[in-house]
Amino acid sequence: MGNIFLLNYRTKHLYMKRIATLLSFLGLISILTHAQEQLPTEQKVTFGQDGKMYVNKELGVYLWLSTSPDKEAPKHRLKSDSSKKYSNPMYFDTEGYNTLRSPSAVDPGTRKPVYPLRDIIFEVYADGEAPKTTYKFVRGKSIYRSGKLYYGHDPAFVINANDRVSGLEKTYYSINGNSYIEFKDTIKLTAEGETTVKYYSTDRVGNRETPLEKKFTIDNSPPETDYEIDGLTNEKFVSPDAVIKLKSEDNLVGVKTIYYQINNGTRRVYSSPVSVKLLGNGGSMAFWAIDYLNNAEKAQVIGGKGNELNIGSSGSTFEFYVDNQAPTLELDFEGQYSKGNYTYVSGDTKIKVNAEDDKSGVDKIYYSINSKNVTSEYDNGISFDSEGVAYIRINATDYVGNKSTTVTNAYYVDRKAPVTKISIWKPKHSVKDTLFVTSKTKINLTATDNASGVKRIEYAIDKRVKGVFEEPFSLDGKGLTKINYWSTDNVGNMEEKNIQEVFVDDIAPIIYHHFSTTPIGSKTVRELEYTIYPSNVQLYIAATDEHAGGERIEYTINGGAVRSVNPIKGLTAGNYKIDVTAYDVLGNASTQTITFAVE
């Protein structure tokens, strides 16, 4: 048989690529003072799940020979005389599939060469190439501007990697100079500004990829728009010839478009100053800008009625008027009021009138009550004298004679308080002028009001305020208890407090018993003591109740049917267990067991 020798290595095939798992972004990582360093790796030999051997191509290899499969058996390192310089260690020159060969396989049983002749082949896979990693955004609007990449609100990315020989070990990434961390899931970015992402992967034999880098800017903020009114002549009044100028700035991706909208009209692109005449009398103009990532600024409103624009806005930024209209009226209340079928007011409520005029100012306000002639001059509120419906008419004039449209409102003047009733549920019992209840008795309160309606019912127990009544309640005290209760309507009319007294009785009756004859002896049966009475004995049972009074006494004899006949007589010889229950009129119950014998 020929000597064993090593042949040169041949590449058979390349392995299919594997897909790496996703990265997760850990936002709170200590920031390094300088550029982050890659995590250390170890060049090594490993085995795949299919048993294939993978070795880092940079590692030198030594061959050992043993005559036993036992790991502890003697082994000898192979040496080469013909290629001594290259054999200890030896290196694999081919990426991927390599072989160690011996010619002429020998049958282990016969020790003779196998025909047709064939080589003995040992497969080894050498891996000298690092994985290949790619980076992909999966969420967020993006745009290139002026040679820079920008991402919009809350972007997210994933990193994919594959290794064609030994397979992927791990993938790492770093955000803005932070230490490298292992990739696990989608990375979500929230911090605004310039961002640098570095990433790389390692394979299962310790090959480490040179870090790759992506630079971009995250822009979550909308532009900021300012305005200028060219022609402003007074604090709140502008000339009809005035114009509105808009200017917007965005510190990152840049302003794309400025929009404006007048009096809920069509949205327009701003390109030149806007005349205030377009706003009309007391009108408003909203304006806002968007950047190239569609980050939209919240609308600002200038003019007279910014709160009436049907757009989401940050409110009125500046109020001004061009005066060509009559005063406007706003009504408010000083005192209690409530909305219902009418607007209900209390007898003490005043109607307050606020009139405004864009430019010249309000001269006078007039009103009337239940009259079409609006001639009474308003001073400091409108008061009501009578109960029921009142019609109020109001108008105003400015200093140039513009007269407002007359406002007519109907109000219901409510001067009466609600009426509250108390209901005491069972168990209860009246004895003369005392109402007895137990701690299980529920107490319910109801109230009615014929105008503005009941707002709340309140109650107190023994002068301790309990609060607003919401559902039937019970009393947890003992003895005589005073309940105060009252209601308030929706305009503040409060009822005088009502009083209900009850006596809380949770005490059960006390049971007594008496035998008609004296005992004739005693005995013990199964460790129980029995007093013995003659056969003509009668057992009398009674009960007393401290407060509400007793109602009935029931008993059973030796677990039999419930009875109420008293006294108990006609007892035959035997042992007796009498279970007695006494009830008062409220259902409070007490029990007692009487044991004896009859002979």
Using pLDDT thresholds of 50, 70 and 90, give the confidence band for residue 289.
Answer: very high
Q: In this predicted model, which residue has the larger pLDDT, 189 or 466?
A: 189
pLDDT at 293: 93
Sequence-distant (6+) residues with CB within 8 A of 137 are 151, 155, 156, 157
Predicted confidence at residue 31, as pLDDT, reads: 38
Query: Which domains, from first to last, does the chain contain?
Result: 1-57+92-220 (2.60.40.10), 224-318 (2.60.40), 328-414 (2.60.40.10), 419-504 (2.60.40.10), 510-598 (2.60.40.10)
CB–CB of 110/103 below 8 Å?
no
Whether residue 546 is predicted with pLDDT greater than 90 in this model: the reply is: no
**550-581: per-residue pLDDT in tens?**
789 999 999 999 999 999 999 999 999 999 99
Q: Which pLDDT score is estimated for 323?
A: 60
pLDDT surpasses 50 at 442: yes
What's the pLDDT score for residue 305?
Answer: 60
Among 193, 205, 195, 224, CA closest to 164: 205
| Cα 319 from Cα 284, distance rounded (Å) | 9
**Listed residue (477, 491, 410, 493) closest to 443, CA to CA:** 477
pLDDT of residue 104: 87
**When comparing pLDDT for 316 and 455, which is higher?**
455
- Mean pLDDT along residues 433-453: 94
- From CA 575, how far away is CA 525, in angstroms rounded? 9
The pLDDT assigned to 18 comes to 30
First to last CA, the chain: 119
How much of the chain is in helix, strand and coil states, percent to nearest 5?
0, 50, 50
Does residue 324 register a pLDDT over 80?
no
Local confidence band at 549 (pLDDT 50, 70, 90 cut-offs)? confident
Ramachandran region, residue 277 (left: φ > 0; alpha: ψ -120 to 50; beta: rest): alpha
Please tell me the number of Cα atoms within 13 Å of 408 on its side-chain side: 7
What is the structure's pLDDT at 29? 34
Q: For residues 593 and 557, give the distance between their C-alpha atoms in angstroms, rounded to a whole number.
A: 10
Q: What is the mean pLDDT of residues 10-19?
A: 28
DSSP 126: E
Average pLDDT in the 7-33 region?
Answer: 31
Q: Which residue has the higher pLDDT, 578 or 32?
A: 578
Average pLDDT over residues 310-336: 74
Paired residues of 598 in beta bridges: 533, 574
Kindly state the percentage of the chain with pLDDT values over 90: 69
Tell me the per-residue pLDDT of 360-397, one tens digit each, with 9 for 90 and over. 678 899 999 999 999 999 998 999 888 899 999 999 98
Q: How far apart are CA 358 and CA 304, in angstroms?
A: 8
pLDDT digits (tens, 9 = 90+) for 467-510: 899 999 999 888 999 999 999 999 999 999 999 999 999 999 99
Rounded mean pLDDT of 188-216?
Answer: 93
Query: Phi first, then psi: what are they for 279, rounded to 5°?
Result: -75, -25
Task: Tell me what percent of the residues of the chain surpass a pLDDT of 70.
Answer: 89
Residue 540 confidence (pLDDT) above 80? yes
Mean pLDDT across the stretch 526-549? 92
Contacts (Cβ under 8 Å, ≥6 apart) of 206: 41, 42, 43, 44, 56
For 225-243, write each residue's pLDDT tens digit: 999 988 655 557 666 678 8
What pLDDT sits at residue 399? Answer: 65
pLDDT band at 33, cuts 50/70/90? very low
What are the tens digits of pLDDT across the range 444-471? Answer: 999 999 999 999 999 999 877 688 999 9
Instruction: Give me the pLDDT at residue 21, please.
Output: 25
CB 530 within 8 A of CB 524: yes
Bridge partners, residue 388, by sequence: 413
- C-alpha 69/C-alpha 401 separation (Å) is 117
Mean pLDDT of 90-111: 91
Q: Does the pLDDT of residue 175 top 90, yes or no?
A: yes
Q: How many CA atoms lie within 13 A of 361 on its CB side?
A: 1
Dihedral through CA 206, CA 210, CA 214, CA 215, nearest 10?
Answer: 130
* Mean pLDDT over the full length of the chain: 87
Residues 377, 397: Cα–Cα separation, whole Å: 11
Nearest to 418 by CA among 397, 447, 439, 393: 447
- In one-letter notation, the amino acid at residue 504 is V
pLDDT, tens digit, 9 for 90 and up, residues 408-418: 999 999 999 99
Residue 506 has a pLDDT of: 92
Q: What pLDDT shows up at residue 360?
A: 64
Taking a C-beta distance cutoff of 8 angstroms, is the pair 400, 386 a contact?
no
Segment (H or E) for 86 = helix 84-87
Contact yes or no for 180/38 (Cβ under 8 A): yes
Enter the DSSP assignment of 52: -
Sequence length of the chain is 599
User: Concatenated DSSP letters for 505-540?
Assistant: --PPPEEEEEESS---EEEEETTEEEEEE-TT--EE
pLDDT at 309: 54
Cα separation of 86 and 90, whole Å?
A: 6
pLDDT in tens, 255-267: 999 999 998 889 9
Q: What is the pLDDT confidence band of residue 403, given thresholds at 50, 70 and 90?
A: confident
Quick one: three-class SS letters along 328-353?
Answer: EEEEEEECCEEECCCEEEECCCEEEE
Q: What is the pLDDT of residue 313?
A: 56
* pLDDT of res. 20: 28
d(C-alpha 322, C-alpha 236), whole Å: 9
pLDDT value, residue 586? 92
Under 8 Å between Cβ of 309 and 301? yes
Task: Please say if the pLDDT value at position 328 is more than 80.
Answer: yes
